[in-house]
Amino acid sequence: MNLLIVGATGTLGRQITRRALDEGYKVRCLVRSMKKAAFLKEWGAELVQGDLCEPETLPPALAEVTAVIDAATTRPTDSLSIQQVDWDGKVALIQAAKTAGVERFIFFSILDCENYPEVPLMEIKRCTEQFLTESGLNYTILRPCGFMQGLISQYAIPILEKQAVWVMGNSSPIAYMDTQDIARFTIAALQKPETINRSFPVVGPKAWGAYEIIRLCERLSGREAKISRMPIGLLQAVQKTARFFQWGWNLADRLAFTAVIASGKPLTANMDETYAVFSIEPAEITTLEDYMQDYFSRIMKKLKELEYEREKAKEKARKKRSPFKSAAKK
């Protein structure tokens, strides 16, 4: 089976690429920058330059491809809008895949996207799901709600560096999942006919609130967090202001996601059917406690090693000082 992975340089896409290669699939990656994607080639993937927003680049990338795995999405720093990438680009990709005779199409949506029509990204995900289901392609839709990897920069690093951890009021608990586990479900879908033309939640074992995550990080790091509270009303005001300027549209669309966080409704789902269909045991899935424990164990060990090296360097410098040289200088 020949795979085309879109969004392969992203947090999730790179884990899917790694998993697919490890399991023996022939992998091709659609990338905008060959330089930034060089590590994928080193892993063994074929790179094809192209862009979702340039439909003419898609047919060559889809030649002889059996299945498409679409893990692409706009990033906050992108100059292109959510509309351009997550709707126009995805429609072009689905149409090109249909024309190319692709046998399977795996798409990443967001859990509960149908419940937030006022949030641009959620509504676009819902519309893309509908467009895909009506395309005639054999599809599988996976619906995560948050990646554990994102919590490192949001919570762990600020606590270690004694910087502020920003918390948005009483935010909704989220069932984060390790992207390596999501990649496992993704590749398993290719081997399970029962997943064809169905959608599945792909979420972690427990929904975690912001303060629960902070307490976990404090315990594992042995350091106290400096918490700064960001009123959700302020973010919503910034969103409305950004809407007045074209350069702020992408930011405004991103900030609209605060409506999801402020809803108070946990982003989680029952995973029993997903585990059964994909033949994956719940006990094999990484918990947030284990993920953070592994991170802090590695980082604290590294910090101790650096401190030890600094002390050695200081001691070496002290020994090099000669009392005779010091006297001579005087």
Whole-number pLDDT of residue 230:
72
Q: Residues 6 or more apart from 202 whose CB is under 8 A from it?
A: 142, 143, 144, 177, 182, 185, 271, 274
Give CA–CA dist 83/185, Å, rounded: 28
Q: For residue range 282-310, what is the model confidence (pLDDT) as tens digits?
A: 999 999 999 999 999 998 787 666 665 66
Mean pLDDT of 42-65: 97
The overall longest dimension of the chain from CA atoms, in Å, is 88
Of 73, 264, 106, the closest CA to residue 185 belongs to 106
Q: Which amino acid is at 63?
A: A
- Is residue 247's pLDDT more than 50? no
- Is residue 18's pLDDT more than 70? yes
Whole-number pLDDT of residue 243:
46
Of 81, 30, 27, the closest CA to residue 55 belongs to 30
Mean pLDDT of 89-95: 97
With contact defined as beta carbons under 8 Å apart, do 30 and 48 qualify? Answer: yes
Whole-number pLDDT of residue 119:
86
Whole-number pLDDT of residue 299:
87
- Is residue 315's pLDDT more than 80? no
Q: How confident is the model at residue 192 (pLDDT cuts 50, 70, 90)?
A: very high
Whole-number pLDDT of residue 245:
42
Whole-number pLDDT of residue 242:
41
**Where is pLDDT greater, at 170 or 37?**
37
Mean pLDDT of 30-55: 96
Q: Taking the model in full, what pTM does it have?
A: 0.87
Q: Residues 6 or more apart from 92 whose CB is under 8 A from it?
A: 52, 53, 55, 58
